A and B are shown apart, each in its own frame.
Chain A
Amino acid sequence: MNPSEDYDDCKTCFVLEQDVSELEKYIEDIWSFLPIPVAYMTPLGIIIDINKGMEELLRNSRDELVGANLGFFFKDKNEAKMIVKIIRHDSKLQIFDSVIFDSEKEIKNVRIFVMPRLNIKGEIIGVFISFIDMTDQIIAQKQIIIERNNAKLYLDVLTHDINNQNQAIISLLELSKDYEDLNDVTQSDIGIALSQAWAISNLIKNVKMLSDLNQKPIILRDIEINSLIKYAIESVKNSNPEKNIKVELKGLDHLIFVQANDLINNVFQNILENAVKYSLGSHVRIQIKCSIAENDKFWKIEFIDFGKGVKDEIKSIIFNRLQRGEKGIKGSGLGLAIVRGILTQFGGKVLVKDRIDGDYSKGSNFIIYLMRGDSI
């Protein structure tokens, strides 16, 4: 080896040392910069080093924590021993939820990430451990559950009690109508009071249904809708005796099965009630058309009315809760929200178009899509 080769080797060594030193500095910077609390410990749980995040979480300085047993901070000491055991047998990343104390004995709910560090032979030479403080999140989740249960309870009590009291009002008004010596004005007033009492009950029923929609597990089955549509038509005719309602059916001459449950009745009734409510005059004309759509996977059912129509700016929000189509039209504004809520649960959808494209004032076409059933 000549002197110049020696010099080159030393130069290489110097560069390597410089690189290692740079790398160490780089890792140290990352380590202290990491916003999440991280500690490095021996396989037995003795802390070798911690970053700033861990200092803040445990509210103790690095000098005091290095050399301590991490198990000391666990509320359940056996849990710390168990984690160490698991690490010895499985060198993959492990995630646990646990409870720890900080140095001021304040309890924290944490999610723990534990990752062993292996040497070339695959032996565990150290363990990285990180705590994510979940305390606020857990408190918030518990609060959400409590508030949700409270809301459910209030609604339940309200639904039950209002309907009970409404029963008395409705029955007593019905009985009052029997008196023969009532004049026409009083008879009419009793009729109005009765319909208002029923409106209160329907409102309560709708609010309850909307609230229940996302809380109960949905089981779908094949449901034949021809008879349900006919039932809904009769029901809407009965509830609007002052209107002359004519419904034309197309594409309903064979049995149609969809994936749904009993809530489907509410979809048909609400859409038909809506068509009647927004119709002009006492004559109401509605067309119902059924056809296959969306690659044969869905039934498309169109409810076409000849009423006031839906302005373009309202089309996108008409299915939102409490959105009313027009001022002065009675109703809670929940009907179409219920339609959308139910159809979404069925994997279907609802949209509204103009009966005649580009001219909303000629009436609307409420189109619903329902998944086809397997029954023939």
Chain B
Amino acid sequence: MDIFIVDDEPIIHVVYKKILANNGYNILGEAFDGEEALQLIKSMDKKPEVIIMDFRMPIMNGLETTKELLYLYPHLNIIFISADVSVRKEALALGAKLFLEKPFERNGFLKAIELLQTS
């Protein structure tokens, strides 16, 4: 399964990549802000099956990025992962499939990815 990571914290990228790689997932790409994510995903022939999206990021936040991405590619699976629980409703209303609160447990995170894989 191909996954794309969008988060402005480099250490969080390390964490995601370690957990996902240990569990057989492929990291298709990564971005550190919403705009970079948009550009990279637009340029990809093969789109990611799951996008992990943070909320607070420079240049373009996770909500704006989710809106743009789903407008362009309505079938993308976006899982919103943020320490900001206040944006949960908005993220889901925009079309994110799941919302996870940071910090999360590894098992909960992996279950969420599995859920998207089977849906």
Chain A interface residues (CB < 8 Å from chain B): 159-161, 163-168, 170-172, 174-175, 178, 197-198, 201
Closest 8 CB pairs of A and B: A163-B83, A171-B15, A167-B103, A168-B11, A174-B106, A167-B102, A160-B83, A170-B103
B2 at interface, CB cutoff 8 A: no
Extra inter-chain contacts (16) besides given A160-B56, A167-B104, A178-B22, CB under 8 Å = A159-B83, A160-B83, A161-B83, A163-B102, A164-B83, A166-B102, A167-B12, A167-B83, A168-B11, A168-B14, A170-B103, A170-B105, A171-B15, A171-B18, A174-B105, A175-B19
0/1 interface trace, chain B 54-92, chain A, CB 8 Å (1 if under): 001000000000000000000000000001100000000
How far apart sit A175 and B22, CA to CA, in the bound complex (Å)?
A: 9
Taking a contact as CB atoms closer than 8 A, the residue among A164, A171, A198 that contacts B19 in the complex is: A171
Q: Are B106 and A175 in contact (CB under 8 A)?
A: yes
How far apart sit A97 and B9, CA to CA, in the bound complex (Å)?
A: 50
Q: How far is the CB of B19 from chain A (nearest CB, A)?
A: 6
How far apart sit A80 and B108, CA to CA, in the bound complex (Å)?
A: 67
| B residues less than 8 Å from A167 (CB atoms) | 12, 15, 83, 102-104
| A residues less than 8 Å from B9 (CB atoms) | 164, 168
12 A-B pairs, CB-CB below 8 angstroms? A160-B56, A160-B84, A163-B83, A163-B102, A164-B83, A164-B102, A166-B103, A168-B12, A168-B14, A171-B103, A175-B18, A198-B103
**Which A residue sits closest to B55, measured CB to CB?**
A160
A163 and B103 in contact, given A168-B11, A175-B19 (Cβ under 8 angstroms): yes
| A residues less than 8 Å from B106 (CB atoms) | 171, 174-175
| B residues less than 8 Å from A178 (CB atoms) | 22
Q: How far is the CB of B5 from chain A (nearest CB, A)?
A: 13
| A residues less than 8 Å from B22 (CB atoms) | 175, 178
Q: How far is the CB of A200 from chain B (nearest CB, A)?
A: 9
Taking a contact as CB atoms closer than 8 A, the residue among A161, A172, A201 that contacts B15 in the complex is: A172
Q: How far is the CB of A27 from chain B (nearest CB, A)?
A: 61
**Which A residue sits closest to B10, measured CB to CB?**
A168
0/1 interface trace, chain B 3-28, chain A, CB 8 Å (1 if under): 00000010110110011001000000
